[in-house]
Amino acid sequence: MTIVDNILNNMERLSNKQKIIAEYLIKNRGKVGFMSLKDISQEIDVSEVTILNFCKSIEIDSFTELKKSFQELIKKQLHVPNEIKSSLQELDNLKDVYNNIIQIHKLNYERALSHNSIEKFQEISYLISKSRRIYICGQGISKVIAEYINSRLRLINIDSVTLEVGDIMESSIDFARATTDDCFILISFPKYSHSIINLAQYLFKNNFTYISITDSDNSPLSKNSKYSLKSHSDSLVFHNFISSTICLIEILIVILSFNMKDKLMSHFDNLEEIQSLLSQNLNNQ
């Protein structure tokens, strides 16, 4: 477990000041391993004693140990290309590579389909169709999945938007517009995005509804989500294959479209009329 995981696991029982420290450390994890106690104290305007008490609250013996933990985190992140390199070096037979990839994909599909019932798809479909707006959020490779969901939902006339949690100004504007009539879809797989986890905690505390797309019931996203789609992302060489996740999304979109069939027929008729009109205008230019 990394220092970030440790902080996130203890977040709920921290005081308000300690949460400020926690959020600062997570957000600035690339540099806090090289900052002094005084530097951090001045940056977030809390006493040095408060920071030392924070360390004890997350079962870290000293500020020096806290710094070392963040330094180790950076070292692990730098090792990611080496992990890929090491995995590639272990592969020496193209036929085995091909067969292994196929077997991994098959297992991912089988487990994903067995862990998500038609009843769950139907309930999620109903929730999405009744929501005022759908906010979708993912980081890293999960951002690709978020964009894919958004494009599909917009195609079937669902008011949806992707959230950029890394852009504080943009995301704060979106949050200010959100109401409890809206629904959020949060996506994260190991290694879980701390930004997405923080967002999930914020949504739960403020009575917003969210659907999680993640890997298991033990995922930090599953805990308070209204519904959770479980998708397995085991991979060869690279972290997190997304193929089984896309499969689940396609199932959900088709079920949602089927349930909205009558409304969609009218919507597609309108689209055809608009496209025909625009085509005529282009031809006349």
Q: Which domains does the chain have, with CATH numbers?
A: 3-78 (1.10.10.10), 94-260 (3.40.50.10490)
Residue-level pLDDT, tens digit, the chain, 285 residues: 688 888 888 888 899 999 999 988 988 887 888 889 999 999 899 999 999 999 999 999 999 999 999 888 877 665 555 656 666 666 778 887 888 788 888 888 998 999 999 999 999 999 999 999 999 999 888 999 999 999 999 999 999 999 887 666 666 777 788 899 999 999 998 878 888 888 898 899 999 999 999 988 888 898 899 999 999 887 776 777 899 999 999 999 999 999 999 888 888 788 788 877 777 765 665
Centroid of chain to Cα 75: 24
What letter represents residue 162's amino acid?
T
- Predicted confidence at residue 260, as pLDDT, reads 92
Residue pointed to by tokens 């995922």: 219
Distances from the Cα of 183 to the Cα of 74, 132, 145, 203, 209, angstroms: 35, 8, 17, 10, 5
- Could you tell me the two tokens for 125? 């479909």
Amino acid at 41: S
Computed on alpha carbons and rounded to an integer, the radius of gyration of the chain in Å comes to 23
Local structure of 42: helix, strand or coil: helix
* pTM of the predicted model as reported, rounded to 2 decimal places: 0.67
Burial annotation 35-68 (CB, 10 A radius, 16+ → b, else e): bebeebbeebebeeeebbebbebbebeebeebbe
Prior bond to 19 cis, omega within 30?
no
